[in-house]
Structure 1
Amino acid sequence: MVKPKASNNPTPLGWQHPASGVVEFDNRPLRHLEATLDRHTTQYEHIQQTMLNTKTALQSKINLVSLAVGLLCADHRKLVDRVDDGEFTLTTMRSTVQDLHPQVKEMKADILYLQLQVEDAKGHCRSNVRSFGFPELVEGPYIKLFSNSGYPRQ
């Protein structure tokens, strides 16, 4: 929204026209929120499908108990699941989402990010990365994990 030329009195909600006193509301923050929610919805649906594909692919290698999806939030309460099938160990570290917009809460997304770590039987870490997504590729005796979330590999 372009600031009206006749207005020179900004208010927290928009701009007030000097002659009429009418406040012209600035709806840019609302539009930004709507766009953010749209992106999160699309991301959630994509990750949900990836989760199903990944879980199916992993079940032959690891007795996988659960995977979860994520959205960006401020809270960092961590919950760690550890699954060990004797040959590989899968660790997922999850962060619970708090105080999100109601539309985001309705998506049942309770994860900020995943930290997936695969160790072999000797305890050597084969792959460790934080990600908003899921493993895109299962290959060989270990899982390759990819991240586009901006988190550095550890």
Structure 2
Amino acid sequence: MLGATSSHTDPIKHLENTLAKHTSMFDTILQAIQDSETAMEAHLGDIQVETGLMHADHAKLEEQVDEAESLLASLTPSMKNVLEQLRALQEEVPVLRV
């Protein structure tokens, strides 16, 4: 049986086994990369949602600032009027000295 070779010493069989092992490893690596990509896409989606909420909050804050500025602008003439009336009263009322 000099011409008979076992699968253990057969170079082609050895290459096929090695290729199968490497293919399996590459499949595992590819799956890990795909899983990571899926996780990153989900994380990116979360970030986009958070960013959208932050933009909405920012818009609400800008609206509140605009309302406050408008209110202040409308109150300023009234406050000036009250201040002028107080000054006029101060001039009319004598200061008591002890």
The TM-score, its normalising length taken from structure 1, stands at 0.28
Determine which structure has more spread, i.e. the larger CA radius of gyration.
2
Between Structure 1 and Structure 2, the one with more helix by share is 2
Which structure is higher in RCO with an 8 Å CA cutoff and minimum separation 6? Answer: 1
Between Structure 1 and Structure 2, the one with more strand by share is 1
